[in-house]
Amino acid sequence: MVMSMTGYGRSIMHIDDSDITVEIRSVNNRFADISVKMPRSLSYCEDKVKTELLKRVNRGKIDVFISYQKPQGEQVEIEPNISAARGYYEALRKIDSELGTHTEINANMLARFSDVFVVTREVPDEEKVWSDIRQVLTAAADNFNSMRAAEGAKMAEDVLDKIANVEELVGKVEAASEPRVEAYRNKLYNKLLDVLSNTDIDEKRILEEAAIYADRTAVDEETVRLRSHIGQFRDIVRAGGPVGRKLDFLVQEINREINTIGSKASDLEITGYVVDLKSEVEKIREQIQNIE
């Protein structure tokens, strides 16, 4: 299926004792550009998040927001360092003895020294944390891709309608071009015949020259290539997948053939069709800028 580069997906889960939220947003971009915003403590997961998304996304400017919270907070254990406390106590008593002072030494005073207590924080299981985040990320990515697929289906339908309009206009160019080439050939032949009537030139040569110049205004080669490009365009859209770059290339080729027809056209009717063709192709080009 055809996928839009614009999408949004969100998932919220409570896993074990953690609340995890993942949001994914994207807009069109030439390449895959993924930005991840999450708590600094989870920075080791950033590359893994990008790797997971690249399995599902080929192009787009993608922003990922991850929230990870533990309701009970961080687990911390605090134990007194009796040896250090005794050392500080004895040192303070020695100062009193030497200086003749009388300092009231209690637990509050000793607690001011940072190494009197040993603080042990819970070390998170990084693999478990990543497994939980990945579960929520997968659900958010599925929602994200569902939205992109729905929009992509509408885009595919729209560009197929527009390419049908292009094909119809090509048919009108063909119908208008054929009799005009023949008329131009006859007109040119008669003019050459009149101009060269007093010269010793074979009439067959004049006819050949008239045909050569008249064929330069023919657009049948261009319309044949246009029909080929249109057929390829339809095949690519119906095949689905990451088709944006292929369609963009084909639109450039279609535009090139239309420009050539415009440069050859010496008739107002055909010129009008060329203007309509360029307008329709521009609409297609704008639409496929959002297709992955």
Q: What pLDDT sits at residue 143?
A: 96
Residue 45 shares a structural domain with residue 83:
no
Distance CA 124, CA 23 (A): 23
Shared-domain flag, residues 111 and 200: no
Residues 275, 173 share a domain: yes
8 A C-beta contact, residue 190 and residue 160 = no
Question: Which residues lie below 8 Å from residue 233, measured CB to CB, with a gap of 6+?
Answer: 159, 163, 247, 250, 251, 254
> With the CA atoms of 121, 125, 128 and 133 taken in that order, what torsion angle do they form, in degrees rounded to the nearest 10?
60
Q: How far apart are CA 189 and CA 207, in angstroms?
A: 6
pLDDT for residue 189:
54
Q: What is the pLDDT of residue 47?
A: 95
At 104, is the secondary structure helix, strand, or coil?
A: coil
pLDDT at 197 over 70: no
Dist. CA 177–CA 156, nearest whole Å: 31
Domain limits for position 59: 7-71+124-149
165 plus 202 within the same structural domain = yes
Can you give the pLDDT at residue 118?
A: 81
Indicate if 145 and 13 belong to the same structural domain.
Answer: yes
The predicted structure's pLDDT at residue 77? 75
The shares of helix, strand and coil residues in the chain, as percent rounded to the nearest 5, are 65, 15, 20
- Do 191 and 275 lie in a common domain? yes
**Residue-by-residue DSSP string for 28-40:** --SSEEEEEE--G
The tally of domains found in the chain comes to: 3
Q: What is the rounded average pLDDT of the residues 206-213?
A: 52
Is the residue at 258 inside a domain? Answer: yes
Sign of the C-alpha dihedral computed for residues 286, 153, 24 and 126 taken in this order: negative
The answer to whether position 66 is within a domain reads yes
Position 207 scores a pLDDT of 54
For 107, counting Cβ atoms within 10 Å of its Cβ (0-12 exposed, 13-18 middle, 19+ buried), the class is exposed
- Which of 12-21, 38-47, 157-166, 205-214 has the least mean pLDDT? 205-214
Out of 41-50, 173-182, 261-270, pick the least confident.
173-182
Say yes or no: 47 and 168 in one domain.
Answer: no
Spatial separation of the C-alpha atoms in residues 185 and 214, rounded to whole Å: 5
Residues 83 and 109 in one domain: yes
C-alpha–C-alpha distance, residues 20 and 22, integer Å: 7
For 74-105, write each residue's pLDDT tens digit: 567 788 889 988 998 899 889 988 888 888 88
Q: In this structure, are 182 and 50 located in the same domain?
A: no
Give the angle subtended at the CA of 177 by the CAs of 230 and 175, to the nearest 5°. 65
Whether 169 is in a domain gets the answer yes
Shared-domain flag, residues 218 and 172: yes
Same domain for 115 and 194, yes or no, is no
Assign residue 29 the CATH number of its domain: 3.30.230
On whether residue 2 sits in a domain, the answer given is: no
Within-domain flag for 114:
yes
* Same domain? 271 vs 199: yes
**Position 1 in a domain:** no
The pLDDT tens digits for 40-74 are: 889 999 999 999 999 999 999 999 999 998 766 55
